[in-house]
Chain A
């Protein structure tokens, strides 16, 4: 099975997809012109705690959507539900029009919806290159009967290795390809995990805090990578606390708090949305986006114990 590369014939270009978002109502659950994921009434409770309770949300194809919200808002649980790693108590959700209710995690990934993890999951005792090769789909050599017959899968393996090396070079991990993945630093693991997810040739990439633990210089190039995914026709959904990244690369922002989608809209307007400020950004009064910086400083001096301030702090020293 040849790796399916996203083509322009099945989807609109990134620019068009972004334009299509302009002028949409900025309210939770607004319908998008070309959704790749549609979520309806998904609810997940852990005992008495309702972790996720999303009425309706759509994710536009071909753009970068950010999912933000305070700690414990249910973002990662939402990711787990969408990708089949957890099953909701009720609700339905679809990918490319196919319902994913009750579909196992590996099948979801095969359909083209691939995720990374907040706590990175690299395969420590496999080399970096082997981690990458593992990501390729449809490998003949992964069948039991074909395994011992190397001539059957050698060609495919070489193609996959080439692709893996290209991706590793893009993520500046090419010099590490023979090292054990377990010997990489935290930030490098993030990179490896992202590169490995791309080996699956996904249509939708879901990144759970891709920037956590990555140094500033690398952050810049990571931002570039994520943007280039969009140019290649992939859809990106990411969870992130780094507001710079959210502002810089996302076309649309969905805000969750206490399991619910409380607001969505383009990054600029969402940052000034009162509900978002209250629930997440943590400013204390009405403010314009350009004044947020001051507010943070004031907020830190004023009430340093306010945990919500933390999330807005990176704005101060981050690259503009």
Chain B
């Protein structure tokens, strides 16, 4: 039990949680505020991880320059996704983003092996980042090794700064315009606002935030592999966002932490149970990891039934939809 709690703590704060958390913050800007259905957030994270990793490992670029390249690439990706679809109905963006995320995953996983190394993925790009690590200890502190601790501190600082930026933006007339577009784009255009341009800005901002998630994930893992960015990614990120309550600044963070902690906790409990029951056939590790996803799914269904607005949402807002 203690192990399970410790594992939950570790995974709830770890670099994967941070990475997903940034992905969900980006989604919150796109979906929660502007109403854009982006099912390809994984594409932005893979661009972040792969471009940074390959530029450092193969190109020998300094870390910051590699990050700048990746950010530039994610802006270009947002433009490519947005230019043909944002003038159309919302569903077109959803379709295109799913497809593009898959195309990118397959491209990174199988092509340009000189840079992306196929299934093995990109490695050997963390030296620059780790050389700045002020922590220097053996073993673990609070379950985290020195390298983990460093990515943790940097990661959560990035999350905090991003949240402040999102909060500042969303209380401004810019944010009001995004929310208005989510409600009714035609009305916004009738008031002389260029809805298309604002949707594009939201898509780019959300994508760049996702790109940072890619950095943290890659630096924490010390490798980038295409498999991580499969279709599940989009749904997990959406789950986190809706768990917290879309359109609230803090919800992606809380959603991501709870999701990872719960996943880890349920996983360890299941493993323990099957170990203690003495019957090895009760559930093996693979089955346990699938069952925990089922239980998470069940929890989410219950949440949607009894608290559809998420943790931070406003019930009154949801009620308006029924009118």
- Are A and B a genuine interacting pair, yes or no? yes
Interface residues, chain A, CB within 8 Å of chain B?
83, 85, 104-107, 109-110, 114-117, 121-126, 130, 133-135, 137, 139, 141-144, 146-148, 150, 153, 157, 180, 182-183, 196-197, 199-200
Contact present for A133 and B176 (CB under 8 Å): yes
Q: Which residues of A contact B193 (CB under 8 A)?
A: 106, 134, 142
Contact present for A147 and B186 (CB under 8 Å): no
Q: Which residues of B contact A124 (CB under 8 A)?
A: 183, 320-321, 323
With A123-B184, A125-B183 known as contacts, the answer to whether A130 contacts B176 (CB < 8 A) is yes
Q: Which residues of A contact B95 (CB under 8 A)?
A: none
Known: A122-B187, A123-B183, A182-B323. 12 other contacts (CB 8 A): A106-B194, A109-B191, A109-B192, A114-B190, A124-B323, A133-B176, A134-B180, A141-B173, A141-B174, A147-B172, A180-B320, A197-B190
Contact present for A121 and B184 (CB under 8 Å): yes
> Within the assembled complex, what's the spacing in Å between the Cα atoms of A200 and B190?
10
8 contacts between A and B (CB under 8 A): A83-B190, A104-B194, A105-B189, A121-B190, A130-B176, A139-B173, A148-B165, A196-B191
Contact present for A142 and B177 (CB under 8 Å): yes
> Within the assembled complex, what's the spacing in Å between the Cα atoms of A130 and B186?
17
Q: Which residues of A contact B174 (CB under 8 A)?
A: 141-144, 146-147
Q: Which residue of B lies closest to A85 (CB)?
A: B186
C-beta contact mask, B158-176 vs A, less than 8 Å → 1, else 0?
A: 0000000100110111111
Contact present for A147 and B173 (CB under 8 Å): yes
Q: Which residues of A contact B195 (CB under 8 A)?
A: 106
Contact present for B172 and A153 (CB under 8 Å): yes
| B89 close to chain A: CB less than 8 A | no
| B105 close to chain A: CB less than 8 A | no
Contact present for B320 and A126 (CB under 8 Å): no
Q: Which residues of B contact A110 (CB under 8 A)?
A: 192
How many residue pairs link A and B with beta carbons under 8 A? The number is: 114
Q: Which residues of A contact B320 (CB under 8 A)?
A: 124-125, 180, 182-183
Query: What band does the interface of chain B fall in when counting residues whose beta carbon is under 8 Å from A?
Result: 20 to 34
With A106-B192, A148-B168, A150-B172 known as contacts, the answer to whether A121 contacts B179 (CB < 8 A) is no
> Within the assembled complex, what's the spacing in Å between the Cα atoms of A258 and B172?
46
Q: Which residues of A contact B183 (CB under 8 A)?
A: 123-126
Contact present for A137 and B192 (CB under 8 Å): yes
Contact present for A123 and B180 (CB under 8 Å): yes
| B114 close to chain A: CB less than 8 A | no
> Within the assembled complex, what's the spacing in Å between the Cα atoms of A117 and B186?
10
> Within the assembled complex, what's the spacing in Å between the Cα atoms of A139 and B194?
13
Contact present for B189 and A141 (CB under 8 Å): no
Cβ distance B198 to chain A, nearest Cβ, rounded Å: 8
Contact present for A147 and B175 (CB under 8 Å): yes
Q: Which residues of B contact A143 (CB under 8 A)?
A: 174
Cβ distance B91 to chain A, nearest Cβ, rounded Å: 20
Q: Which residues of B contact A146 (CB under 8 A)?
A: 172, 174
| B201 close to chain A: CB less than 8 A | yes
What are the 10 A-B residue pairs with the smallest beta carbon separation, nearest first?
Answer: A141-B173, A109-B192, A182-B320, A147-B174, A148-B168, A147-B172, A121-B187, A123-B183, A110-B192, A105-B189
Q: Which residues of B contact A141 (CB under 8 A)?
A: 172-174
| B317 close to chain A: CB less than 8 A | yes
Q: Which residues of A contact B180 (CB under 8 A)?
A: 123, 126, 134
Q: Which residues of B contact A197 (CB under 8 A)?
A: 190-191
Contact present for A147 and B169 (CB under 8 Å): yes
Q: Which residues of A contact B13 (CB under 8 A)?
A: none
| B188 close to chain A: CB less than 8 A | yes
Contact present for A123 and B187 (CB under 8 Å): yes
Cβ distance A185 to chain B, nearest Cβ, rounded Å: 10
Taking a contact as CB atoms closer than 8 A, the residue among A135, A147, A180 that contacts B316 in the complex is: A180
> Within the assembled complex, what's the spacing in Å between the Cα atoms of A137 and B205?
24
Q: Which residue of A lies closest to B186 (CB)?
A: A121
C-beta contact mask, B186-225 vs A, less than 8 Å → 1, else 0?
A: 1111111111000001000100000000000000000000
Cβ distance A103 to chain B, nearest Cβ, rounded Å: 12
> Within the assembled complex, what's the spacing in Å between the Cα atoms of A24 and B196?
43
Q: Which of B168, B171, B175, B184 has the most CB of A within 10 A?
A: B184
Q: Which residue of B lies closest to A157 (CB)?
A: B173
With A123-B183, A124-B183 known as contacts, the answer to whether A114 contacts B191 (CB < 8 A) is yes
> Within the assembled complex, what's the spacing in Å between the Cα atoms of A141 and B193?
13
Q: Which residues of A contact B317 (CB under 8 A)?
A: 125, 180
Q: Which residues of A contact B194 (CB under 8 A)?
A: 104, 106
> Within the assembled complex, what's the spacing in Å between the Cα atoms of A124 and B184?
9
> Within the assembled complex, what's the spacing in Å between the Cα atoms of A269 and B41?
63
Q: Which residues of B contact A117 (CB under 8 A)?
A: 186-187, 190
> Within the assembled complex, what's the spacing in Å between the Cα atoms of A141 and B168?
11
With A109-B189, A148-B165, A183-B320 known as contacts, the answer to whether A125 contacts B172 (CB < 8 A) is no
Q: Which residue of B lies closest to A180 (CB)?
A: B320
Q: Which residues of B contact A139 (CB under 8 A)?
A: 173
Q: Which of A116, A139, A146 has the most CB of B within 10 A?
A: A139
